[in-house]
Amino acid sequence: MSAQSAPARRPRRLSFRTATAAAAALVALGALTVASPAAAHDELLGTSPKADTAVAELPADLVLTFSGVLMDEPGATEVVVTDASGTDLTDGPAVLSGTRLTQPLNTQAARPGPVTVRWRVVSSDGHPISNEFSFSYGDGSVVPTASLTAQPDPSSTNGDSAWGWPVAVVAIVLVGAGGAVVAVLLARSRGRRED
């Protein structure tokens, strides 16, 4: 009786396919990792007083609430509150606590009428965002604002992010490692063919 031998498997193809799939997964992971911070800007969820409303008295504090925890670094937060004559109504620095930014107001300096709030903060992804809104108090009329949605600061770029460089470096290392794995497996498969 002659024993039939089983057909030889081709481990080289399986290894090459596995390496190719692993490299593709690393490239996709790197692309997603680099793209995700740009899509993660925080948004202004609400204000007190609310935008485009009228209040009987100017509150002692203006409160802005955001969708994420803002960066609390020197110079990262700016709130400017003015009345119709341009008088600055802020009373000291804004206080950041998690997702809430509180700006004390000088209620004695304000005149009844429209109040404009301009703000600039640094989102949790490291990008500055800014916008403005209006409300009125006393017998003044409300000056409507276009939107409450936070806008990315046009002076910033993706490279300015606190997370941008580290994430890009990790993505490059992952892609490089995937390429190295493919190169080693290709070299091994070519070496076996020559034998």
Are residues 83 and 134 located together in one domain of the fold?
A: yes
- Domain of 123, CATH number, reads 2.60.40.1220
DSSP labels for the chain? -PPPPPPPP-HHHHHHHHHHHHHHHHHHHHHHHHHTGGG----EEEEESPTT-EESS--SEEEEEESSPPP--TTS-EEEEEETT--B-B-S--EEETTEEEEEB-TTT--SEEEEEEEEEE-TTS-EEEEEEEEEETTPPP---S--S-EE-TT--GGG-TTHHHHHHHHHHHHHHHHHHHHHHHHHHHHHHH-
Residue 117 is predicted with a pLDDT of: 98
Are residues 82 and 131 located together in one domain of the fold?
A: yes
Are residues 51 and 138 located together in one domain of the fold?
A: yes
Domains held by the chain: number: 2
**Residue 154 domain-assigned (yes or no):** no
Which residues contact residue 143 at a Cβ distance below 8 angstroms, ignoring those fewer than 6 apart? 114, 116, 134, 136
Residue 167 is predicted with a pLDDT of: 59
Are residues 73 and 144 located together in one domain of the fold?
A: yes
Distance from C-alpha of 33 to C-alpha of 12, rounded to nearest angstrom:
31
pLDDT digits (tens, 9 = 90+) for 107-163: 999 899 999 999 999 998 989 999 999 999 987 555 555 444 455 555 544 444 445
Are residues 63 and 32 located together in one domain of the fold?
A: no
Residue closest to 134 by CA, chosen among 53, 48, 61, 65 = 53
Are residues 17 and 54 located together in one domain of the fold?
A: no
Q: What are the Cα distances from residue 143, in Å, to 52, 61, 132?
A: 7, 20, 12
**Residue 174 domain-assigned (yes or no):** yes
**Residue 52 domain-assigned (yes or no):** yes
Residue closest to 46 by CA, chosen among 119, 107, 95, 113 = 119
Are residues 103 and 123 located together in one domain of the fold?
A: yes
Distance from C-alpha of 82 to C-alpha of 84, rounded to nearest angstrom:
7
Distance from C-alpha of 109 to C-alpha of 7, rounded to nearest angstrom:
92
Distance from C-alpha of 143 to C-alpha of 49, rounded to nearest angstrom:
14
**Residue 129 domain-assigned (yes or no):** yes
**Residue 158 domain-assigned (yes or no):** no
**Residue 6 domain-assigned (yes or no):** no
Low-confidence ranges of the chain (pLDDT < 50): 37-38, 146-149, 156-162
Are residues 32 and 52 located together in one domain of the fold?
A: no
**Residue 5 domain-assigned (yes or no):** no
Are residues 19 and 76 located together in one domain of the fold?
A: no
**Residue 1 domain-assigned (yes or no):** no
Are residues 178 and 82 located together in one domain of the fold?
A: no
Residue 40 is predicted with a pLDDT of: 64
Residue 180 is predicted with a pLDDT of: 76
Are residues 48 and 136 located together in one domain of the fold?
A: yes
Are residues 28 and 96 located together in one domain of the fold?
A: no
Domain that holds residue 120: 42-149
